[in-house]
Structure 1
């Protein structure tokens, strides 16, 4: 099975894991539609075939490994499917390594039976024809899944008597858990870079115009940090938004520009997938589909004019109020493209060691928020189950407090370094 030593960039907000033979798959279908309408990018596919050696196909592995949240529809049909069980193993591996949020839906399955592999669970698993090491790791995966915070369909329906409310509450739960698309929120202090403030003001002034701004500067001078922070502050005001990282490097791969065009369209059209066969076709589709949409686009690390012409060739491609931010090391590209304003990042290089603690800390904050909200909603569950979740929350809060202290110390150290540099510069004038 494919593996990564570090988490790849996020492509999807939500991945649905379910059996295509399951009569209850309508739950994932309706939830999927509701999430897409809300601007959340999902992966849901009923083409479920294992390759030789019980391997998941490459596209599906990558979809799982680039999703922030996984929804599992755990049912007897799910347990009878070697395909679904292999998916479950990979999903839980991503949860362990990179903090993926996993939300199980227990349909006609008792989590206690799942943990002990008894009753209907044992009956469903008995239909499996594969044994050996496969059976051993599926068993461990199912026991781990039984301890996750999730939705008990039987208990919920007994209380609320409404399938539509069940789907609606799951959808809202996922929306609450969702991290803003294409953005890992930075808590690194960027206030030492004055152009961040001016850039925000400039974008607000041209609220009804299609504005293109450029951020220039050498490597590790804060260009991407500034663009991400601005994006995070304004993305909700647009019909669609896209943050394309590493444009220059990705465009040099085979069909690189075509794939970037497909990614841009998918982001801006709320997950709709359009097959692009050439850069020329991609340009035409961009012009046709986005001319009436107010969009926010960030093209990060551009190094060639061809990339700009293929992705944001003209302001006329986009609806009124659209904003485009371009980051690059090559200032001349911005002038040739005739951007409305150029900002030059003057920040100090970002310390690598801060990034090593930021992501685990942010994931821990997100898990704590999800756990707190979920525990409050468990009025219909047993005291033992709630106690287990509260213990889990307490452990997570302890870990989070240690991480928060480290982040605070690193930020204070970096701010002191910045202040010292400013003082040194002033004495040299």
Structure 2
């Protein structure tokens, strides 16, 4: 230091021996505060960089070997860009060596470059292993903790074997939400993890399988620019990762048949990989997890339950009033909406949100009457996905006929009629059950969720508007009449109902 700059008389500075510190004794005994004018005229070595007017750099042959000196240089050059002056002193050093990174400078800088690469590799490795990406989850969820813990038990997270689980249920019942909650709570127990959300929506294009695998590998490797050439090379890379990493893989919304073979292949890779790995899929098809048993012995299914009355009222009330209980005068009507929703979280959220801010009781009453007669489109659209993805028209015909004629009837009665019409109910009815469109009660009667029934009636109404009366069923009936007289009355009865329904 040449000399301190002029300072107010009530304040004085003293340099402490520790090279990292400069303390200032003031009348208030506080540490130094950077003032508007520099404290020092000239900077030498490492003292008080930002408060100096001028920097004298003594650059020797070993200058670049010191990371400390290079850090100082960065800070000095930053100050130079504003107002400070730098005077370099080259001591037994050719300035061109510094400019062109030659001689001792080139060797030293190359060393630091290698060190930087090594440090970056360490950082990337730590991030890939220690960083768990938390997926977005809605606030104020009700009745979800029990489901998460039940799934934890079914997956046996603490055991060293390899397992898969299908979280299944009807559309809008909360499969994705439960899977997200489980992932956020337990993903840290694995070396690598990935939550593949909205697979059908995000895997469009000419090569959806390659797109899916590329996104999966990017997530597992925490690499932004990772590219795969084709499906086979992507699977090989995935196999390498799974061979030494305990992994949690979650595939959300996997109902499309085009992904079945890929899932089986991934199951094979997990089974041959590191012990303790787990795979979860969410699907509306209860049979999908069974397809994974070809490659993995421990595959289970968790069927998501409808919310109970208490949790249903809490969820509805939160979306309608932003509180867990409705105000007293809205309680009875809120309970009626909850009954209509039948424990389906999607319906509870949509209905509650549609009433938020509505204080007129007559509006609530008319809204309830309306949704009971005309189901809300955004609820029906989600439920109808399961119907639209049925395999063929015979399954769709069975579903719609059950909606019209056989709810509450014995399954044998319906099977006899459907067999007469060549609708193959022995295949069709189990598939409707697996797709969560139909249930068979303990007494063998056919039942379905009220909102699913409303969806079916809406489909029938739309068909009738466009002149489609499901001729498949009627043509089957006419062919059955000559050979099965004992079924004639049933078929004729159904035919007359059809004429009445669509006239």
Normalised by the shorter chain, which TM-score bucket? 0.3 to 0.5
- TM score, norm. by length of structure 1: 0.41
Query: Which of structures 1 and 2 has the bigger CA Rg?
Result: 2
Q: TM-score, normalised by structure 2?
A: 0.35
